[in-house]
Structure 1
Amino acid sequence: MALKKILHIIPTTDFGGITSMVVDIWTNTNKSMYHFDFLSFNKGQYHETLVQQGSKIFYETYITQQGPLAYMRKLYRILKQQQYDAVHDHTGYRAIFTLLAARLAGVQCRVLHSHTNVAEEWNNKIMLALLKRLSVYNATKLVACSQKAGEFCFSKRPFEVIANPIELQKVKCISFEERKKWREELGIKDDELVLGHIGRFVPVKNHSFLIELSVYLKQRGIPFQLFLIGDGPLEQEIHQLVQQKNVEDCVRFLGQRADILTLLQLFDKFLLPSHFEGFGIVLLEAQVCGTPAIVSSSLPREVDLHIGLVHYLDLHGEIDSWLQAIVTQNGQVDHQMIHDHIKMKGLDAQAIASKLCTLYI
């Protein structure tokens, strides 16, 4: 088979669920059969990784800034010059202008990939419905990371679910001594519970709930440290909320980190109170690291390995139920059993890469 060239449209080359997924898939793709290039709107930490793997990366300003026609003209020119066999857009219902440009450029395979089941920034339901319909109309294949994400973007149209993968080779289990050393370096006391959250500071991640939970834990005399990892537009607002609620001594901001899989192993509990998640790759990473997770009941169940590490709770229920789940002791974790479950469910990066590449045949 001749080498197939695919252009992936991703929001950013910085750390994040979509980018991590695409990087893991590209790492595990047969490069004698497929070549991936990327178009993105924000340069980030994964840029060099992708370049080292031989990819071209085209950066564009946001469509809202340059206008859809200017964006389409530039993309049309790129598609004609590079002669791509497929365009794979990971921006969901925002894909209309990408897919229309690809259609006009004669690209026969146009993949629309939904990674979310919510559109917080769109209050205009008519406009949102129109964007979805036009994006779907200009796609030739529909894919979603979960059943909910597909139903949200594609409504009743048939689609294929391809879960976000985990790169098992990236998970290096740390020893008890290493864990103790890390905790000492972070200033964690022996009697303190270590709670962690990983996610952008945006409304859907529900950081304000974590701060209210911190207040409750402190009032009940629970010794703990909550580590918030990530950045985003609401970070300063959450900083201010932490100060207002007087929990600066037990809430820590670590910013963007490249050592997520190590930090997850330091946590006694991982917290994910999101209002919505398309898939929740970080929850899969937590399970692979053997870290018990307490999460919102709104999360898709596809990410649960069903090995007893995920505890679902209602965001509208009693906050004390979160406290009880936090202080409950969990048993020992068999890491080999976790890896076996990942492979059994077909969630390892090699299996997902092979499945994804069948879209381009």
Structure 2
Amino acid sequence: MHRVSELIRVMHIMGHMMGGGVEATVMNHYRHIDRDRVQFDFVVDSDSTVVPREEIETLGGRVFVVPPYKKLPLYSSACEKLFREQKPDIVHSNINALSVFPLRAAKRAGVPIRIAHSHSTANPGEHAKTLVKNVLKPLSKLYPTHLAACSKYSARWLFGDKAVDEDRVHIIKNAIDLDKFSFNPRTRSRKRAELGVTDRQLVIGQVGRMCFQKNQVFTLNVFAEVLKQRPDAVLVFVGDGPMRADVEAKIDMLGIRSNVRQLGVRNDVNELYQAFDVLMFPSTYEGLGMAAVEAQVSGLSVMASDQVPAQAGIIGRLVSFLSLDDASKWVAMLVSTAAVGNRSDEIDEVRSQGYSIDDSAEEMCAWYEHLMATTGVNA
């Protein structure tokens, strides 16, 4: 039986790291967890493009590189070998339906506590991806000893209604460092100057990986229509990903290059929210939507698709849910949006809904300790 005074080592399975929201959530918890009680290590695929190795190692963690999961036999054997050598107390997998593979390796290696964490859902439009997810979903409860999810919506998608209704899924919210996102008019002025926009120009932002899920091409189609009525409007993309070339091609095809700023992966997203007048969030599917939560802390209006869980609308007056089938409504709302430089932040309201990273990190720490105290070594 584990003694609470001992340091718990948790090995987080991250898959292909490239600066996305799931990685931000795990790193947020890692920065704020009591590392005298719990220490994280990270297992990343060799084709990862954004791995914060220096920060992880400064905080006392380690980064282990394995072959990409697309090379499944190599990936599985490398994971099993790693788990046998390092003997982590807990393996916590963050790769949704694909968690079946590292958790199978963890079980074979004798890891006593194995957590499958659902951060997302699926969309029929991603045919190949959704097929793989649907094949793997029935196996999702085969190898983990415990289940976790960012929301009940994503929990039901991967683990099924019964597991949720029986309270067998531990909810870990996409919590954030709320103070970082508090609104500051001086920050707004400085970031807008960096973007080359005036106080009165409409600035539309989108934060997220450039991929089918985040739907940047839809944003571009809408924005092209907005420019017909607001020709000085500016669209800012933050993020990178597999569809960047498609986004570039679309910008050129629409002839709107001078009105679009592509910033790539940034570490000042909290300040960029303050420069925006509205956040576009037209996802084709979401487990919750971290960017939407962050935006609301700084009092930023969010236009989200109706494929984003209602749970993401923490501040009701700030979030609008619109159908992806009716682009004209998106255009009309954006055209009527004013540049507002004196908005207020919503830290207290967001904290009351359980999104404070300090509270969430302590809760996660206590959960790990509870698992260690109550789980037998032969699970």
Q: Under a length normalisation based on structure 2, what TM-score does the superposition of the two structures give?
A: 0.87
Are 1:47 and 2:53 counterparts?
yes
User: Secondary structure at 2:332's aligned position in 1?
Assistant: helix
Match for 2:232 among 223, 231, 243? 223
Match for 2:352 among 344, 347, 352? 344
Give percent identity, aligned residues only.
27
List runs of 5+ in structure 2 lacking aligned partners: 164-168, 373-379
Are 1:135 and 2:120 counterparts?
no
Compute the displacement of 1:328 (Å): 3.5
Q: Show the counterpart of 2:377.
A: none
Q: Using the alignment, how far apart are the partners of 1:24 and 1:125 within structure 2?
A: 28
Compute the displacement of 1:221 (Å): 4.0
Q: Show the counterpart of 1:353.
A: 361
Deviations along 1:77-133, one digit per CA (max 9) or x if unpaired, are 221222211100000110112111111111111100011111665538775434122
Q: Show the counterpart of 2:257.
A: 248
Q: Using the alignment, how far apart are the partners of 1:59 and 1:117 within structure 2?
A: 26
Q: Using the alignment, how far apart are the partners of 2:352 and 2:49 within structure 1?
A: 35
User: Secondary structure at 1:10's aligned position in 2?
Assistant: strand
Q: Using the alignment, how far apart are the partners of 2:334 and 2:107 within structure 1?
A: 51
User: Secondary structure at 1:203's aligned position in 2?
Assistant: coil
Deviations along 1:152-203, one digit per CA (max 9) or x if unpaired, are 1112341232211111243364334x43233233221343201110111111
Q: Using the alignment, how far apart are the partners of 2:56 and 2:151 within structure 1?
A: 26
Task: Answer 1 or 2: higher relative contact order, Cα 8 Å, separation at least 6.
Answer: 2
Q: Show the counterpart of 1:117.
A: 121
Q: Show the counterpart of 1:156.
A: 161
8 Å CA contact 1:109, 1:141 repeated in 2: yes
8 Å CA contact 1:99, 1:135 repeated in 2: no
Letter in 1 for 2:317: G
8 Å CA contact 2:202, 2:337 repeated in 1: no
Deviations along 1:1-45, one digit per CA (max 9) or x if unpaired, are 122111000124542211111111112212222111110111525
Letter in 2 for 1:341: E
How many residues align? The count is 356
Question: What does residue range 57-96 of structure 1 map to in structure 2 within 5 Å?
Answer: 57-65=63-71, 67-68=72-73, 70-96=74-100
Are 1:33 and 2:37 counterparts?
yes
8 Å CA contact 1:172, 1:262 repeated in 2: no
Q: Using the alignment, how far apart are the partners of 2:244 and 2:135 within structure 1?
A: 32
CA-based RMSD: 2.2
Q: Show the counterpart of 1:191.
A: 200
Q: Show the counterpart of 2:177.
A: 167
Q: Using the alignment, how far apart are the partners of 1:219 and 1:126 within structure 2?
A: 40
8 Å CA contact 1:13, 1:47 repeated in 2: no
Compute the displacement of 1:291 (Å): 1.2
Letter in 2 for 1:62: P
Letter in 1 for 2:54: E
Change (3 A) 1:72 1:123: closer
8 Å CA contact 1:37, 1:57 repeated in 2: yes
Match for 1:282 among 257, 269, 291? 291
Letter in 1 for 2:79: L
Q: Using the alignment, how far apart are the partners of 1:124 and 1:173 within structure 2?
A: 38
Compute the displacement of 1:284 (Å): 0.8
Q: Using the alignment, how far apart are the partners of 1:352 and 1:27 within structure 2?
A: 12
Q: Show the counterpart of 2:166.
A: none
Change (3 A) 1:352 1:12: farther
Q: Show the counterpart of 1:268.
A: 277
8 Å CA contact 1:144, 1:161 repeated in 2: yes
Q: Using the alignment, how far apart are the partners of 1:249 and 1:19 within structure 2?
A: 32
Change (3 A) 1:43 1:217: closer
8 Å CA contact 2:148, 2:170 repeated in 1: yes
User: Secondary structure at 1:35's aligned position in 2?
Assistant: strand
Q: Using the alignment, how far apart are the partners of 1:167 and 1:354 within structure 2?
A: 13
User: Secondary structure at 2:247's aligned position in 1?
Assistant: helix
8 Å CA contact 1:43, 1:59 repeated in 2: no
Q: Using the alignment, how far apart are the partners of 1:28 and 1:149 within structure 2?
A: 24
Q: Using the alignment, how far apart are the partners of 2:297 and 2:55 within structure 1?
A: 23
Compute the displacement of 1:136 (Å): 1.6
Q: Using the alignment, how far apart are the partners of 2:70 and 2:327 within structure 1?
A: 41
